C-alpha cells in the first residue's frame, strides 16, 4: 500500500510538468460523456466520433455500462479487448456479463468471462460450462473450492451448490472444514446453518466452536470436551490461542491440562507455543522467556526473533544474544547491531567491529549507530536517479498516463489513481 501511495504521489507531482489539456477540451469531454450516458446509441457515436481527448474511451464506457445489447455485441467485445487490463474494462465487462446471463447466452458468457474474485460471476460461468458439456469432475472440484469457505456465497451459486450436493460432493469432512473456517476468522453467523449438515452426534461440535468463538475463556472449561476427540482438541487449540491475548494466566493454566488431555501433533503444539511466545513477550510477561525458547527453530519468524532480542536486551543477557543470533541467516540490521554490541560487552571487540563495519555501510538507523560506535562518518549512499529522455517520453505518451493526468485535472482522483496503478 505504501509503495502504491508513493507511486501515486509521484504521479501527481509529475502531472504539472506536462502540458495540461486546454479547459475547453475538458469541457468538450464532459459534454460528450453526459450525452453518451443519457442518450441513445447514435448520441454516443456522435459524442465520441468528434472528440479529440484522452478520456474518449470513458465516453464509450458511460454508454456501454448502461446499454449492453446483442445488437452491438461485436463493438462491445472489441472495446473489452482494446481496454483489457485497464480500469475501463471491468465496469463494461460486468454489465455485459450480467446481460448475457439474463438472456441465457451461455457460450458468449463463457467466452467473455475473465477470472475474478467476485463469485457472482464465477458460479454462472461454471454452471454454463456444465450445461455445454464440460467434464463434471473438473467443474465440481472448482465448486468444492467455492463451497469450502468461511463465508456465505452469492445466490448465483445456489443452483450449482444444490447440484454439487446431489452428486455426493458434500461430505461430513467438508462440512467440518467449512465450520472451522467460519469459526476461525470467517462469518460465525454461518455456523448454525452448517451445524444442521453434520451428523446428529457431531452437531454439538458446531455449538462448541461458536461458544469458543464468542468467548475464548470457554476453551478453559475442560468439562466441555466430552469425547476427547481430535475435533474437540482442534477447538481447544483455537480457543486457547485467542485466550492468551485476553487472559494470559488463565490460558497458561488451561494449556497445561489441555496439552496432556489431547494427543496433539508436534506441529499443533508448535502453533500454540508460537502464539503464547508472541503474546507473552509483547506484554513483558514473566514467562515470556520460557515460551520463546519452546518455539522450534523452523517456526522462528523475524517478528518472534525481534521479541526474543527485546526480551534478552531487557535482561542484558549478552551471552544469550550471542548464542541465539550467531550463525543465523538474514538477520536484520538491528539484530546484527545488537549481536555486535553483545559481543563487545563480552570483550570480543574485534568480532564486534567486523559486524559493525558491515552494518555501518548501510543508510539506516542502525547503520548510523554502528558508524558512531566505530567513530567513522555515516554512509548516506546517495545515488542520483537518472531517468532517460526516452523513458520520460514513453511515459508521457502512454494512454494510461494521459488518462490519469486528465482525470487528475478533473479532480476525479480515485479514477486517476486507478489508472496510474494499472499503468505502473
**27-31, 243-247, 325-329, 336-340: lowest mean pLDDT where?**
325-329
Of the pLDDT bands very low, low, confident and very high (cuts 50, 70, 90), residue 14 is: low
In this structure, is residue 119 part of a structural domain? no
Looking at the structure, tell me whether residues 300 and 255 fall in a common domain.
Answer: no
**Residues 246, 252, 257, 262: is their CA dihedral positive or negative?**
positive
Give the C-alpha separation, 197 to 231, whole Å: 16
Q: 282-320: per-residue pLDDT in tens?
A: 999 999 999 999 999 999 999 999 999 999 999 999 999
The pLDDT of residue 80 is above 80: yes
Query: For 100-157, what is each residue's pLDDT tens digit?
Result: 999 999 999 999 999 999 999 999 999 999 999 999 999 999 999 999 999 999 999 9
Co-location of 256 and 186 in the same domain: yes
Residue labelled with grid coordinates 519468524: 301
Please check whether residue 284 lies inside any domain of the structure: yes
Range of the domain at 295: 265-315
- Residue 58 forms part of a structural domain: no
Say if residue 360's pLDDT is above 90: yes
Percent of the chain beyond pLDDT 90? 91
CA distance 331 to 358: 12
**Mean of pLDDT values over 159-185:** 98
State whether 193 and 217 are in the same domain. yes
pTM of the predicted structure, to 2 decimals: 0.86
16 pLDDT tier (thresholds 50, 70, 90): low
The answer on 255 and 176 residing in a single domain is yes
Q: Distances in Å between the alpha carbon of 414 and those of 9, 403, 404, 410, 422?
A: 13, 12, 10, 11, 12
In this structure, is residue 220 part of a structural domain? yes
For the beta carbon of residue 311, count every other beta carbon within 10 angstroms.
22
Query: In this structure, are 200 and 218 located in the same domain?
Result: yes
* Residue 343 covered by a domain: yes
Answer yes or no: is pLDDT of 19 > 60. Answer: no
Do 257 and 283 lie in one domain? The reply is no
Instruction: Write down the pLDDT at residue 284.
Output: 92
Q: Are 370 and 340 in contact (CB under 8 A)?
A: yes
Q: Give the residue-averaged pLDDT of 83-90.
A: 97
Q: Are residues 289 and 354 in the same domain?
A: no
Query: Mean pLDDT across the stretch 242-264?
Result: 98
- Residue 288 belongs to some domain of the structure: yes
In whole angstroms, give the CA distance from residue 229 to residue 269: 16
Residue 323 belongs to a domain? no
Residue by residue, what is the 3-state secondary structure of 142-172? Answer: HHHHHHCCCCCCCHHHHHHHHHHHHCCCCCH
The answer to the question of residue 384 being in a domain is no
Q: Which of 220, 240, 262 is the last residue of a domain?
A: 262
pLDDT exceeds cutoff 60 at 35: yes
Average pLDDT over residues 33-56: 96
Burial class (CB in 10 A: 0-12, 13-18, 19+), 95: middle
Per-residue model confidence (pLDDT) at position 50: 85
Contact status, residue 79 vs residue 60, Cβ threshold 8 Å: yes
Question: How many separate domains does the chain show?
Answer: 3
Does 269 lie in the same domain as 255? no
CA distances from 291 to 247, 274, 375 (A): 16, 8, 39
Residues 247-272: what's their mean pLDDT? 98
The pLDDT of residue 2 is 43
* Residue 209 or 16, more confident: 209
Amino acid at each position: 500500500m505504501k509503495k502504491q501511495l508513493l507511486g501515486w504521489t509521484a504521479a501527481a507531482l509529475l502531472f504539472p510538468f506536462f502540458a495540461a489539456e486546454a479547459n475547453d477540451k475538458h469541457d468538450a469531454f464532459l459534454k460528450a460523456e453526459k450525452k453518451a450516458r443519457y442518450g441513445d446509441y447514435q448520441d454516443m457515436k456522435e459524442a465520441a466520433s468528434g472528440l479529440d481527448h484522452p478520456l474518449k474511451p470513458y465516453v464509450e464506457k458511460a454508454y456501454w455500462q448502461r446499454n449492453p445489447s446483442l445488437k452491438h455485441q461485436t463493438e462491445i467485445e472489441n472495446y473489452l479487448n482494446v481496454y483489457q487490463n485497464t480500469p475501463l474494462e471491468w465496469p463494461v465487462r460486468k454489465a455485459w456479463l450480467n446481460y448475457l446471463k439474463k438472456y441465457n447466452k451461455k457460450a458468449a458468457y463463457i467466452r467473455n468471462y475473465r477470472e475474478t474474485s467476485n463469485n457472482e460471476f464465477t458460479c454462472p460461468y461454471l454452471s454454463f460450462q456444465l450445461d455445454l458439456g464440460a467434464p463434471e469432475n473438473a467443474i465440481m472440484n472448482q465448486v468444492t473450492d467455492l463451497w469450502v469457505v468461511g463465508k456465505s456465497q452469492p445466490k448465483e451459486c445456489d443452483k450449482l451448490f444444490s447440484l454439487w450436493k446431489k452428486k455426493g460432493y458434500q461430505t461430513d469432512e467438508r462440512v467440518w472444514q467449512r465450520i472451522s473456517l467460519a469459526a476461525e476468522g470467517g462469518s460465525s453467523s454461518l455456523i448454525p446453518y452448517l451445524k444442521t449438515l453434520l451428523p446428529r452426534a457431531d452437531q454439538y461440535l458446531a455449538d462448541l466452536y461458536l461458544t469458543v468463538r464468542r468467548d475464548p475463556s470457554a476453551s478453559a472449561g475442560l468439562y466441555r470436551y466430552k469425547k476427547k476427540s481430535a475435533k474437540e482438541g482442534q477447538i481447544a487449540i483455537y480457543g486457547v490461542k485467542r485466550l492468551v491475548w485476553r487472559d494470559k494466566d488463565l490460558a497458561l493454566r488451561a494449556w497445561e491440562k489441555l496439552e496432556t488431555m489431547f494427543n496433539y501433533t508436534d506441529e499443533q503444539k508448535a502453533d500454540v507455543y508460537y502464539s503464547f511466545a508472541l503474546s507473552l513477550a509483547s506484554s513483558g510477561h514473566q514467562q515470556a522467556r520460557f515460551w520463546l525458547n519452546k518455539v522450534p527453530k523452523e517456526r522462528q519468524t523475524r517478528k518472534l526473533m525481534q521479541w526474543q532480542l527485546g526480551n534478552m536486551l531487557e535482561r542484558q543477557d549478552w551471552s544469550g544474544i550471542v548464542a541465539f543470533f550467531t550463525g543465523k541467516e538474514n538477520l536484520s540490521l538491528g539484530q546484527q547491531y545488537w549481536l555486535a554490541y553483545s559481543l563487545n560487552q563480552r570483550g570480543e571487540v574485534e568480532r564486534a567491529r567486523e559486524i559493525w563495519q558491515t552494518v555501518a555501510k548501510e543508510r539506516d538507523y542502525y547503520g548510523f549507530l554502528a558508524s558512531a560506535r566505530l567513530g567513522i562518518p555515516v554512509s548516506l549512499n546517495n545515488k542520483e536517479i537518472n531517468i532517460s529522455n526516452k523513458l520520460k517520453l514513453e511515459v508521457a505518451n502512454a494512454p494510461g498516463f494521459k488518462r490519469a493526468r486528465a482525470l487528475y485535472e478533473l479532480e476525479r482522483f480515485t479514477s486517476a489513481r486507478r489508472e496510474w496503478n494499472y499503468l505502473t
